[in-house]
Amino acid sequence: MQKRGLSGVVTVLLLLLISIVSISIIWLFIQPSIIGIIGSGEDNGQLTSFISCAELDIRTDSCFYNESSVKVGVGRGVGQQEISSLAFKFDGSVSNLFLKDSLRGEVPNEFGHSTIVFSLDKFEQIPKNVRTTIIFQNGEACEFTDTPVNCLEEPESNIECGNGNKEIGEECDDGNIEDGDGCSSTCQLEGQLGQSCDDFGITIIPLSDFDESTCTRTRNGLVASGVDKIPSAGLRVIGSDWSRAAATGASYGRDIIQWYEMYDTLELDAPLDFTELDQKIVGYKAANMKVILTLRANHPIRSEIEFNPNSQTLLQDDSWPKFGQEDDWVDYLKNVTDRYYANPTPEHQGVLVAIQVGNEWGHQFKVNESYGRYTQEEEQQAILDLMNLSYNFIKEVSPNIPVIAFAISDTPNMALGAGYDEQGWKYDGIYYKTNNGLNGITIATRQSVKQDPITSAKSAVVNGSAFYDYFDAHIYFQSPEGARYVANFVRDTWRLNGITGKGLISTEFANPIYNYSYDLHSYNIKAAQAVAYHSGFDAIVWGNWNPSPASPNLLQTSMKFNGGAGYQLPQIYNYTYFQGLSKNFDTVSRHGELLSFKIGAVEKELNLSKDLPPYPSLYQCSDGMDNDGDGLPDQADSGCYDYYNLADPTKCNGQKRQTLNCIDPEGFSENNWIFTF
């Protein structure tokens, strides 16, 4: 009986194997014929098995033609499903269907991009537009659902390899077109002559997380071993838009919680009420998101600084709890830590990743001398004491939870004033605030930066080091390297004072609210985060600040949805693309413009010289500099003009805020520069 049973099993397995082999052989004969039919542009009704592929994000990004070829740029978003090939439909005609198989180019991976090259002789005439879809292993194809992209004549390139200037598309340019000297005849890096940061002229403060010989940093390499680690990819979540934030590739958001909103009423005997915060935590979890909670120390009757909560915003100052109310603050901190981190219910588990005590150092903290605890001159000590009190009670509940310090704002100016900005100057001011009747943008130099804020910032880094696990540097940068200057400022302060066991985070990280275009904003999302991670940041919360043509605070959200038609601005795509390269990376190395992120055994690269937008062409007429080199700065130069001129009623109408006509008279669009330089 046992032998016959075993024989039956073997027979079934053999039959299954024969079936699989037969199907494979049949497919080997069928597939070339299908490819041949489609590839020749003669479908003859053969490709009829189109299916809906809503969960796969594949799109046509560009189409250019020249004398010999047609180049189609294809991008891919979220989705790891195996794709066999791509199909392209030109001019909306079934007779112009092509498969990728016989062409140059690869199917892009998740968050990847690829250029597919067609020979121009395949077409009877130059194609007008193109759409892209997916072919699976079983021969099924997705429907053509993307918007047709127009095919344009490929612009002539003025890039010249060997002229000594590294230009877009070049990894190097050593002034010749010889191979074997580290820079190839096509201006690509070859056989690296050196691998250290010094070999590439990159200044980094080399702490124990850094391998100088290979210019490689280990993320969270400085954080104390007993502290849980914060994920790398954060995004500022607006309202309850958790699901859409998660779709960008972010791991977590940041939520600022007002102390006075944690009670059902403002009476001193009112108990803590977690109803609204519970709903937020559940919302984050449902979207597979985590969160950093920034707990503000502000309450109209429990804090020393009293206020009317009905007229306050997120910017209401923190202050010390009044005498007798310290226990209420401690009870609040301990309850949050226990409820969402140490002993969470299943619906709350795994959501909270860190607690931040207070928001911004000095900038959003005040003392009330009438209570006799601190004077105005002792404000910094008051913040340190509140950090000390809060840190110890949070750690009493959960020693492993990461605690983030009060953030330091305006850090690029501090890096400049402290001598870490290698450029030696930066633009300063805000466009819509006037300066002598013109826009308010000026030049800041190291000498012009006041030293008191720098001293205060160093006090936060050094004297507060016992009360934080991650230091928070808020950055609104003008160039990607600005993040490196800030990291060097913080890390060198640690080094000089023997401080170890700390991580570096930015819970507000974004372009400045002036001096940039949409294209530059989009590029910087990739480039600035890459530079920041390599130079010392372990986690970043992208602030998604955008120019707004009608609001003086310039705060919009890239997350805003445009009538269900998709993201309003293109920056989100580059955020998602970058997370596909770097999310929760282990190490990152940098060789010149090339950064390599390693996640386990997988290594992905980002070249800072790729997709770099052009420098602005509009004039800057109030920065005190001779920008065109003719010896006449600003208004002394008859060729210089300024769009923001309050004396011109046809443009700004005496307003102290930007409007469409005032800020961008050539037309508000994503292709125009919004602010002059």
Distance CA 272, CA 263 (A): 5
Distance CA 467, CA 358 (A): 13
Element (H, E) at 524: helix 518-535
Distance CA 192, CA 392 (A): 49
* 95-122 mean pLDDT: 70
* 290-304 mean pLDDT: 94
Q: Is 5 exposed, middle or buried (0-12, 13-18, 19+ CB in 10 A)?
A: exposed
- The residues near 497 (Cβ < 8 Å, ≥ 6 apart) are 461, 462, 465
Query: What pLDDT was estimated at residue 82?
Result: 76
Mode of pairing for the β-strands spanning 503-510 and 470-472 = parallel
Q: How many CA atoms, within 13 angstroms, populate the side-chain half-sphere of residue 282?
A: 8
DSSP conformational letter for 261: G
* 141-164 mean pLDDT: 76
Query: What pLDDT was estimated at residue 44?
Result: 33
Find which of 29-43, 297-311, 368-382, 599-613 is predicted with most confidence, using mean pLDDT: 368-382
**Does 650 have pLDDT greater than 90?**
no
Count the neighbouring beta carbons within 10 Å of the beta carbon of residue 647: 9
- The residues near 557 (Cβ < 8 Å, ≥ 6 apart) are 236, 238, 544, 546
CATH class assigned to 50-153: mainly beta
Range with lowest mean pLDDT among 5-14, 42-51, 88-97, 645-654: 42-51
Summarised one tens digit per residue, pLDDT across range 336-377 is: 999 999 999 999 999 999 999 998 887 789 999 998 899 999
Distance CA 333, CA 337 (A): 6
Find which of 14-18, 63-67, 270-274 is predicted with most confidence, using mean pLDDT: 270-274
| pLDDT tier, 512 (very low <50, low <70, confident <90, very high otherwise) | low
Give domain 222-410+454-585's CATH superfamily: Glycosidases (3.20.20.80)
CB 502 within 8 A of CB 207: no
Element (H, E) at 607: strand 602-607
Element (H, E) at 413: helix 411-417
* 457 vs 632 pLDDT, higher one: 457
* 604-611 mean pLDDT: 86
Summarised one tens digit per residue, pLDDT across range 465-481 is: 999 999 999 998 878 99
Angle of the 326-337 helix axis to the 379-397 helix axis, nearest 10: 40
* 674 vs 288 pLDDT, higher one: 288
Give Cα 238 distance to the centre of its chain. 16
Query: What pLDDT was estimated at residue 301?
Result: 92
Count the neighbouring beta carbons within 10 Å of the beta carbon of residue 343: 12
Cα-Cα-Cα-Cα torsion 57, 58, 59, 64, nearest 10 degrees, comes to 150
Query: What pLDDT was estimated at residue 71?
Result: 86
* 275 vs 667 pLDDT, higher one: 275
Query: What pLDDT was estimated at residue 668?
Result: 33
Query: What pLDDT was estimated at residue 270?
Result: 94
In 222-348, where does DSSP find H-type helix? 242-247, 275-286, 326-337
Distance CA 663, CA 673 (A): 9
Segments of the chain assigned to CATH 2.60.40: 50-153
* 329-334 mean pLDDT: 97
Distance CA 503, CA 223 (A): 5
> How far is the CA of 87 from the CAs of 54, 58, 168, in angstroms?
17, 11, 30
**Does 555 have pLDDT greater than 70?**
no
| E runs forming strands in 302-441 | 352-357, 403-404, 425-428, 434-435, 438-439
**Does 593 have pLDDT greater than 80?**
yes
Q: In what order do the strands lie in the sheet with 210-211?
A: 210-211, 216-218, 587-591, 594-599, 602-607
Summarised one tens digit per residue, pLDDT across range 228-245 is: 999 999 988 767 778 878
Q: How many CA atoms, within 13 angstroms, populate the side-chain half-sphere of residue 166?
A: 16
SS3 content of the chain, % helix, strand, coil (to 5): 30, 20, 50
* 203-218 mean pLDDT: 94
Residue 44 sits at the vertex; the CA angle it makes with 40 and 45, to the nearest 5 degrees, is 125
The structure tokens listed for 485 are: 């200057």
Segments of the chain assigned to CATH 3.20.20.80: 222-410+454-585
The structure tokens listed for 366 are: 């005040």
Element (H, E) at 256: strand 252-257
Query: What pLDDT was estimated at residue 153?
Result: 85
Q: Which of helix, strand or coil describes residue 536?
A: coil
CB 654 within 8 A of CB 449: no
**Does 644 have pLDDT greater than 50?**
no
* 280 vs 240 pLDDT, higher one: 280
| pLDDT tier, 621 (very low <50, low <70, confident <90, very high otherwise) | low
Distance CA 590, CA 201 (A): 11
Q: Which of helix, strand or coil describes residue 134?
A: strand
Query: What pLDDT was estimated at residue 467?
Result: 96
- The strand pairing partners of 235, in sequence order, are 542
* 636 vs 286 pLDDT, higher one: 286
Summarised one tens digit per residue, pLDDT across range 399-453 is: 999 999 999 999 999 999 999 999 888 876 655 455 555 555 567 889 989 999 9
Element (H, E) at 22: helix 2-39
Percentage of the chain surpassing pLDDT 70? 66
**Does 196 have pLDDT greater than 90?**
no
Query: What pLDDT was estimated at residue 167?
Result: 62
The structure tokens listed for 481 are: 């390297």
